[in-house]
């Protein structure tokens, strides 16, 4: 694999503002891709163990928060012999700019991958601005 050297260890989520969680368990930061398209932004998060029932996507005061509850799924009566990754929930927050139309946000989960579509508000859609070359008259003015 190309990026095998990359740090594959799961990163535990930091706790912004020292706010404590009610559930006592590990919380990890999901790896995320954010893609900007012409009319929308796409947030894709790897959240293995999460399905449509156990994921929460909320937008409050311009902050998009994703939270996925993961059922540890420990095999019954089995002992952990080798542990390379930890099990826990996923959480991550992003600040959205005003250009996102918050009413039209959509989210899907497939095979443990959360995909959020954030449509751009009409005003924020990229408009191409025609750049005009200034005439020689303008240049003349500089010399005055």
Q: Report the interface residues with another protein, using CB under 8 A.
A: 1-4, 6, 8-10, 12, 18, 31-38, 41, 44, 46-51, 73-75, 77-85, 87, 110-113
**Shorter beta-carbon distance to another protein: residue 29 or 59:** 29
**Of 130, 140, 103, whose CA–CA distance to 118 is shortest?**
103
| Residue 93, C-beta contacts closer than 8 angstroms, at least 6 positions apart | 16, 63, 64, 65, 66
Distance CA 112, CA 50 (A): 5
**Shorter beta-carbon distance to another protein: residue 94 or 133:** 94
To which residue do tokens 């990229």 refer? 126
Least CB distance from residue 143 to another protein, whole Å?
A: 41
Question: What is the 8-class DSSP label of residue 100?
Answer: B
**Shorter beta-carbon distance to another protein: residue 63 or 85:** 85
**Shorter beta-carbon distance to another protein: residue 60 or 76:** 76
User: How many Cα neighbours within 13 Å face the side chain of 107?
Assistant: 25
Least CB distance from residue 102 to another protein, whole Å?
A: 18
Least CB distance from residue 122 to another protein, whole Å?
A: 18
């Amino acid at each position: 694999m190309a990026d095998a050297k990359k740090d594959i260890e799961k990163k535990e989520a930091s706790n912004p503002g020292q706010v404590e969680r009610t559930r006592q368990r590990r919380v990890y930061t999901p790896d995320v891709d954010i893609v900007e398209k012409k009319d929308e932004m796409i947030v894709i998060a790897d959240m293995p163990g999460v399905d449509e029932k156990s994921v929460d996507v909320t937008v409050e005061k311009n902050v998009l928060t994703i939270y996925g509850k993961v059922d540890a799924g420990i095999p019954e009566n089995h002992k952990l012999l080798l542990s390379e990754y930890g099990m826990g929930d996923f959480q991550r927050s992003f600040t959205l700019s005003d250009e996102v139309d918050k009413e039209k946000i959509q989210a899907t989960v497939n095979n443990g991958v959360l995909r959020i579509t954030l449509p751009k508000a009409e005003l924020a859609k990229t408009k191409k601005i025609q750049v005009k070359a200034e005439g020689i008259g303008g240049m003349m003015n500089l010399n005055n």
